[in-house]
Amino acid sequence: MHMRTTRPIIRTVLSGASLHDATVVLDDRVILRSVNLIVGPGLTLVRGPNGSGKTTLLRALAGLLPLARGDRKASGDVLYIGHRPMLLRGLTARENLEFFVRFRGGDTRGIDGALRAWGVGEEMDRPVERLSAGERRRAALARVETERVPLLLLDEPFADLDEAGATRLRQTIARAREDGRVVVIATHAHPELDDLAKTRIAIDDGAATAA
Amino acid sequence: MALVAVRELRAERRQPDGVVAAVTFIAVLVLLESLVVGPQIARDPDVASALFWLALAFATILATMRSFDRELEDDALEGLVALPGGRDALFGGKVLSLTIVLLLVAVVGGVLSLVLLDLRIALPLHLLVVVLLGVLALPPIVVVDVVLALRLRARAALVPILALPVLVPQLVAATRGTSAALSGDAVGALSWAGLLFAFAVVYTVIGLTIVPAAIE
């Protein structure tokens, strides 16, 4: 017997990502050392000092780096937002987000609302190079709401945000967690996220351990 | 692929640095050509064709590098590559948008050449086919070279060094084909056009194979 479900697909697909014995070498330097990691639904925090390998770990999970050894697995699409907003200059915030949504075959109708909710409603039709760093960051983070992918990888997402933006981001993270999405955040600050986190990973000199 | 091309053309419309640099370059070169070699020699089909295609080759390099420079600002390239299928769409999208930009540059350069050098076209349709296929054949290999040199600081110097030796056969074919169309050699023009088509296909296949892996 077939049962119909009306729940969103991100709840019905068990999503996650893993690295097995992952080693990343860049410019003859070992940046990640034999990392074994499984991330599932909920919030995973990656903490470590500057240069410890947090960004590399996220990029390896996103499949953006070749592994010198080991393998990576991910079920479901990945949304990776790095240090910088990753928006193309010459396009407006709205056009950038439309591109990402269309590329994933999604619905663009929610973009205006998401940008307004992130406080860039007035600026959504200005080219991104004319926005402040904080506005660009907000526009980039609005992708979490417009691209409903199950696996979110956010690298220092609080950078450039004012208090209102940070509050909005904490709410977004909490909602994504409740929706059963996989959220991995690399940050060296924001201890208040510890209460929300299901898993904490400490990384130092490329070696990851459970914290 | 079409989405990447539209994204690129929209950005180029608002920040037309690549088009402006390429059009200025080809316009200056055509102008200088008639001054430096004199009107008689400049009007020679071989000379006029060679300078036109050399200028267009450099214009391709300029426009392609500007396009990727824009991608590197704010890590926009990483945003594209991180999308499912983004790596595969990157090459096709860039080639498509650059082909459209270069067609515009070729039209400007061609009109300037015709007016300033007072060129006579014996076979206009053949010339159109040769120019179209010549423009199609340029971006694939230049995009591959720019991607290979993307993370190098000296890429502004390296890309022409990498690209020009590979472009020589295409430049020869395009120059001979254009010269043949200008001077009324229909068979010659179509033969060289066929070769240009082959270059376009081969380098597109190479690009589609290499670029997704190289972008890592």
What is the value of ipTM here, to two decimals? 0.85
Q: Region B42-64: what's the mean pLDDT?
A: 91
Q: Total domain count for chain B?
A: 1
- Confidence check: pLDDT of A6 > 60: no
Provide the pairing of β-strand A207-210 with A197-204.
antiparallel
Size of interface A-B (CB pairs under 8 A): 74
pLDDT digits (tens, 9 = 90+) for B111-145: 988 888 888 899 999 999 999 999 999 999 999 99
- Confidence check: pLDDT of A2 > 70: no
Burial grade of A179 (CB within 10 A; 0-12, 13-18, 19 or more): middle
Sheet of strand A151-155, all strands in order from the earlier edge strand to the far edge: A78-81, A151-155, A182-186, A42-47, A197-204, A207-210
Percent of chain B with pLDDT over 90: 63
- What residues are paired with B17 via a beta bridge? none
- Phi, psi angle pair for A147, to nearest 5°: -105, 100
- Asked whether A81 and A149 are in contact (CB, 8 A), the reply is no
Are the beta carbons of B82 and A87 separated by less than 8 Å? no
- Confidence check: pLDDT of B176 > 90: yes
Instruction: Give the tokens for residue A75.
Output: 């079920």
pLDDT digits (tens, 9 = 90+) for B76-90: 999 999 998 888 899
Distance CA B179, CA B169 (A): 15
Distance CA B163, CA A120 (A): 42
Burial grade of B197 (CB within 10 A; 0-12, 13-18, 19 or more): middle
Q: Supply the pLDDT for residue A9.
A: 44
To the nearest whole Å, the CA of A70 is away from the closest chain B CA by 16
Distance CA B140, CA B99 (A): 9
Asked if B153 reaches chain A (Cβ–Cβ under 8 Å), the answer is: no
Q: Supply the pLDDT for residue A14.
A: 56
Grouping H, G, I as helix, E, B as strand and the rest as coil, residue A37 is strand
Are the beta carbons of B216 and A88 separated by less than 8 Å? no
Instruction: Give the tokens for residue A102.
Output: 């269309």
The whole-chain average pLDDT of chain A stands at 87
Instruction: Give the tokens for residue A114.
Output: 């998401």
Interfacial residues of A (vs B; Cβ cutoff 8 Å)? 62-66, 77-80, 82-91, 95, 99-100, 102-104, 127-129, 136
Q: Taking CB atoms and an 8 Å cutoff, what residues of chain B touch A25?
A: none
For A34-38, B19-23, B152-156, B202-206, which range has the lowest pLDDT when averaged over its residues?
Answer: B152-156
- Phi, psi angle pair for A205, to nearest 5°: 50, 40
pTM, full prediction = 0.86
Domain that holds residue B155: 2-214
